[in-house]
Structure 1
Amino acid sequence: MPESHDFFVAADPGSTRARVRDALVRQGYTVEDGEQGALRAARGSLGLTLLVGGLANDRTFHTRLDVQLMIAPDGRTVARLLRGSGRSAVKGGALGVARGNRAFEQAANAIHTELAQAGVLTDSIPG
């Protein structure tokens, strides 16, 4: 499973950031502003996840994601989705890893769909 996913966008960083934020909020994440225009997204309960581990459902299993925004040399905006801190295996063994992988994939798909529907996605590369 990739640890990051880059979305290349033909739009300014501000509107890209807003679209990425909206996609994550629709997935149930609470999104906060980070440094230098980054976003920090979290979903679920860390306490509940540590208590019941991989038995937590998708929305209650604690997931953390980060999004960095930058400008590529060709002038396109890049939104890089990163797995957040806190390894899923510690939070539920094999089931936790599967839930963490699924959460990352769902977030990447939501961002991809949002940017594609807006007509600004030019490339999408898992990393």
Structure 2
Amino acid sequence: MPESHDFFASTSPDQVRATVREALASEGYTVEDGEQGSLRASRGKLGLTLLIGGLANDRTFHTTLAVQIMVTQDGQTVARLLRGSGKSALKGGAIGVSRGNRAFEQAANAIHGRLAATGALTASVPS
């Protein structure tokens, strides 16, 4: 499973940031502004996840993600989706790892879909 996913877009960093914010919010994430224009997203309850672990459903399983917004030398905007620092295995063992992987994949798919729908997506690369 990739640790990050890069989305290349032909629109401004502000437009990409807004589109990514909308995509993550549609997946149930609370999205906050981070340093240097980045975004931090979280969903679920940490305490509940630690208590019931893998029994939490997708929306209540605690997940954190980060998104860095950058501009390439040729002027494309890149939104890099990063896995959060929370250890899914500690939050439900193998089931927790699976839920963490699924949450990352769902977020990547949501961002991809939103950017594609705007016509701005030029490439999408897991890494």
TM over 0.5: yes
Q: Which runs of structure 1 show a deviation greater than 4 angstroms over 4 or more consecutive aligned residues?
A: none
- Give the CA deviation at 1:19: 0.2
Q: Residue 74 of structure 2: SS of its match in structure 1? A: coil
Letter of the structure 2 residue corresponding to residue 112 of structure 1: H
Q: What residue in structure 2 maps to residue 23 of structure 1? A: 23
Q: Residue 89 of structure 1: SS of its match in structure 2? A: helix
Letter of the structure 2 residue corresponding to residue 10 of structure 1: S
Letter of the structure 1 residue corresponding to residue 92 of structure 2: G
Query: What is the TM-score when the length of structure 1 is the normalising length?
Result: 0.99
Query: What is the TM-score when the length of structure 2 is the normalising length?
Result: 0.99
Letter of the structure 1 residue corresponding to residue 54 of structure 2: G
Counterpart check, 1:7 vs 2:7: yes
Q: What residue in structure 2 maps to residue 60 of structure 1? A: 60
Q: What residue in structure 2 maps to residue 79 of structure 1? A: 79
| Gaps in structure 1 of 5+ consecutive residues | none
| Gaps in structure 2 of 5+ consecutive residues | none
Task: Supply the distance in 2 between the matched residues of 1:78 and 1:53 (Cα, whole angstroms).
Answer: 34
- Give the CA deviation at 1:16: 0.4
Letter of the structure 2 residue corresponding to residue 55 of structure 1: L
Task: Supply the distance in 1 between the matched residues of 2:40 and 2:67 (Cα, whole angstroms).
Answer: 7
Q: What residue in structure 2 maps to residue 110 of structure 1? A: 110
Task: Supply the distance in 1 between the matched residues of 2:72 and 2:88 (Cα, whole angstroms).
Answer: 31
Cα RMSD, aligned residues only: 0.4
Letter of the structure 2 residue corresponding to residue 29 of structure 1: Y
Q: Count residues with an aligned counterpart.
A: 127
Q: Residue 28 of structure 1: SS of its match in structure 2? A: coil
Identity level (%): 72
Q: What residue in structure 2 maps to residue 46 of structure 1? A: 46
Letter of the structure 2 residue corresponding to residue 27 of structure 1: E
Letter of the structure 2 residue corresponding to residue 69 of structure 1: I
